[in-house]
């Protein structure tokens, strides 16, 4: 083959490669845009769980969430992480958001600023030491938070909009009914993964809300939106 022929052949091959790459890129962008459009039309809700991890009920919860392809948010007690590191690793690996609920489940506003920051720091270190991820979100016990803490620690406080008081009633049917009565697009549901009744309620809530067209997201998604 002449030099001119080789040059023409190489040019054609390069053109085909460039066209193929552009088609792949366009396809990926199209898939991304389609996913965004689909999510944009969804009713979004966040399931959040406080006071864990608990070796029995949290493990069962993680299994059920994985089966249902649902991502949730866990606010962990720092002192409960020890001995349950594998559960915390599983949370992270499954794509759940993990936040702080203080080290000893204390009311932060009842402590000195130094003590409160210590509670938060110890919890963050316990979690990040297992997951390797920075802890950015905190749900202060009893919702007790103030502006001094905002200045002292660089974290996002997370509240809730639906509270069935599962820790008090410990009745699956009541918990489910209360949540379904109050939930709406953008709701943040408060539950506790240390109770079997709450775990079972979570599964029923997920199944029912999915049937109603809800999509479950981690709480940071709602705060950003």
Q: Give, for all 225 residues of the chain, the pLDDT tens digit.
A: 554 543 444 344 444 334 343 443 334 343 333 344 344 568 999 999 999 999 899 999 999 999 999 999 999 999 999 999 999 999 999 999 999 999 999 999 999 999 999 999 999 999 999 999 999 999 999 999 887 887 778 899 999 999 999 999 999 999 999 999 999 999 999 999 999 999 999 999 999 999 999 999 999 999 875
| Catalytic one of 42, 50, 156, 163 | 50
Q: Across the chain, how many H-helices and E-strands are there?
A: 10, 7
pTM, entire model? 0.81
Whether 50 is catalytic is yes
Q: What is the pLDDT of residue 1?
A: 53
Handedness of CA 59, 61, 95, 174 (dihedral sign): negative
C-alpha to C-alpha distance for 207 and 225, rounded to whole angstroms: 24
What does the pLDDT read at residue 154?
Answer: 86
CA-CA distance, 180 to 191, in Å (whole number)? 13
Catalytic residue among 54, 96, 101, 192: 192
In this prediction, residue 149 carries a pLDDT of 84
**Residue 196 appears among annotated catalytic residues:** no
Taking a C-beta distance cutoff of 8 angstroms, is the pair 45, 70 a contact?
no
Collapsed DSSP state (helix, strand, coil) of residue 176 = helix
């Amino acid at each position: 083959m002449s030099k001119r022929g080789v040059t023409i052949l190489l040019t054609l091959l390069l053109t085909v490669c460039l066209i193929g790459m552009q088609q792949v890129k366009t396809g990926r962008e199209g898939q991304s845009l389609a996913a965004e459009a689909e999510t944009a039309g969804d009713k979004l809700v966040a399931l959040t769980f406080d006071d864990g991890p608990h070796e029995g009920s949290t493990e069962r919860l993680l299994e059920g969430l994985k089966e249902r392809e649902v991502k949730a948010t866990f606010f962990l007690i720092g002192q409960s992480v020890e001995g349950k590191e594998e559960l915390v690793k599983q949370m992270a690996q499954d794509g759940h958001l993990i936040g702080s609920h203080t080290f000893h489940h204390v009311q932060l506003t009842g402590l000195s600023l130094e003590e409160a920051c210590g509670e938060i720091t110890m919890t963050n270190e316990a979690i990040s030491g297992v997951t390797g991820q920075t802890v950015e979100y905190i749900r202060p016990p009893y919702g007790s938070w103030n502006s001094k803490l905002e200045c002292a620690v660089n974290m996002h406080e997370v509240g809730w909009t639906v509270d069935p008081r599962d820790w008090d009633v410990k009745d699956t049917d009541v918990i489910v009914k209360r949540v379904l009565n109050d939930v709406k697009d953008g709701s943040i549901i408060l539950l506790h993964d240390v109770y079997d009744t709450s775990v079972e309620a979570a599964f029923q809530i997920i199944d029912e809300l999915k049937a109603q067209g809800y999509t479950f997201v981690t709480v940071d998604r709602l705060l950003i939106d």
